[in-house]
Structure 1
Amino acid sequence: MVKLAPLQPDQAACFYDWIRDPEAIEYSLSTFQSLKTNAQIDSWFAATLRQENCLNLGIYAEDTNALIGYAGLSGISHTNRSGEYFIFIGEKSFWGQGVGTAVTQQVLAQGFAALGLNRIMLTVSEPNTGGRRAYEKAGFLVEGRLRQACCRRGQFHDKIVMAVLKADWEQPGAGGV
């Protein structure tokens, strides 16, 4: 269905239409809400590729090799063996097809096996029920709630804090190995 591979510096243009689509960015990075021009998107993308302590991967359609989004881990702490998961699927034709769950499982495998992490966390907007289901299928558990931590379309909503530990992920049925 999809595969993960490094993002390439010449792929910023793929994000132009995605970031300008209010539906696509509704539950995404707050930064996306302020990016209006191609130059701003180019600058954000270049900075993303230069980030240290991050794993930034493109999500590619397996049959066409087209970039459909990106995912990875930010804030990787080798001391604490932890990181924060993120995903953005810009191509809406891939929504609701299990791509989020598949990508989440692949990134968790890289985080736990290749990077040696023990804990991977995320925050998800409470109204993003599809995202929450994908994270639960991949083994994430709810740890808490950040009250009214996000404002979209003039409305505040909570962010749900979720995490998965390596030991939990490795158990059968938890989405892991």
Structure 2
Amino acid sequence: MITVAPLQQEHVASFYRWIRDPEVIEYSLSAFQRMHTDEQIRQWYAATLQDQKSLNLGIFLPDTNELIGYAGLSGISAINQSAEYFILIGQKDHWGRGIGTAVTRQVLAVGFSVWQLNRIMLTVSETNIGGWKAYAKAGFVEEGRMRQACKRNGLFHDKIIMSVLKAEWERAAH
């Protein structure tokens, strides 16, 4: 089974490679589209590790402990008991193997059990069919759409808003 654990400073080297791969970052943070140097990536990574309103977890292979991606929660609001889910699987040879669904379920468990969140949401590009399917398998439901909210490869496309509530997650887990 895939494992998730807190990211450490020494993991930054993997991000240099992943963020420079247009296919890996196609559906990720818009900020990644503007990062071109090691220094830009290092600064973003350092700020990410310091962000007190985020949970940043590395995705590790169980046998080798190789870092293949990262996932977590951003914008954690204690008042609203909500956050936004994110994931990036940087090692392309691990795409399409169910890792996204497994990691999503693990992060939801942490969000609802440890952080005591009530709602976890995400946005997914309408063209990211694999991501949408993984999120739906993990319990997310579509709740809306932001029209032409993302531009990639010179084309605008919609972002789909999905969420899962703690009560729904608890029902599905039992």
TM-score, with structure 2 as normaliser: 0.98
Q: What is the rounded CA distance, in whole Å, between the counterparts of 1:152 and 1:9 in structure 2?
A: 30
Which residue does 1:106 correspond to in 2?
A: 106
Report SS of the residue matched to 1:13: helix
Alignment of 1:16-31 (within 5 A): 16-31=16-31
Which residue does 1:72 correspond to in 2?
A: 72
Aligned residue identity for 2:123: T
Q: What is the rounded CA distance, in whole Å, between the counterparts of 2:13 and 2:39 in structure 1?
A: 10
Give the Å deviation of 1:2.
1.2
Give the Å deviation of 1:63.
1.1
Give the Å deviation of 1:56.
0.5
Aligned residue identity for 2:71: A
Report SS of the residue matched to 1:88: strand
Which residue does 2:53 correspond to in 1?
A: 53
Give the Å deviation of 1:100.
0.2
Which residue does 2:118 correspond to in 1?
A: 118
Give the Å deviation of 1:10.
1.5
Q: Does 1:171 align with 2:171?
A: yes
* Structure 2 residue ranges without an equivalent (≥5): none
Give the Å deviation of 1:171.
1.2
Percent identity of the aligned residues?
Answer: 64
Q: What is the rounded CA distance, in whole Å, between the counterparts of 1:55 and 1:41 in structure 2?
A: 18
TM-score, with structure 1 as normaliser: 0.96
Q: What is the rounded CA distance, in whole Å, between the counterparts of 1:108 and 1:157 in structure 2?
A: 27
Aligned residue identity for 1:155: L
Q: What is the rounded CA distance, in whole Å, between the counterparts of 1:26 and 1:142 in structure 2?
A: 21
Give the Å deviation of 1:147.
0.4
Give the Å deviation of 1:134.
0.4
Q: What is the rounded CA distance, in whole Å, between the counterparts of 1:28 and 1:136 in structure 2?
A: 18
Runs of 4+ in 1 over 3 A off after TM superposition: none
Give the Å deviation of 1:16.
1.1
Which residue does 1:94 correspond to in 2?
A: 94
Give the Å deviation of 1:11.
1.3
Q: What is the rounded CA distance, in whole Å, between the counterparts of 1:45 and 1:80 in structure 2?
A: 26
Which residue does 1:38 correspond to in 2?
A: 38
Aligned residue identity for 1:16: Y
Give the Å deviation of 1:105.
0.1
Alignment of 1:125-144 (within 5 A): 125-144=125-144
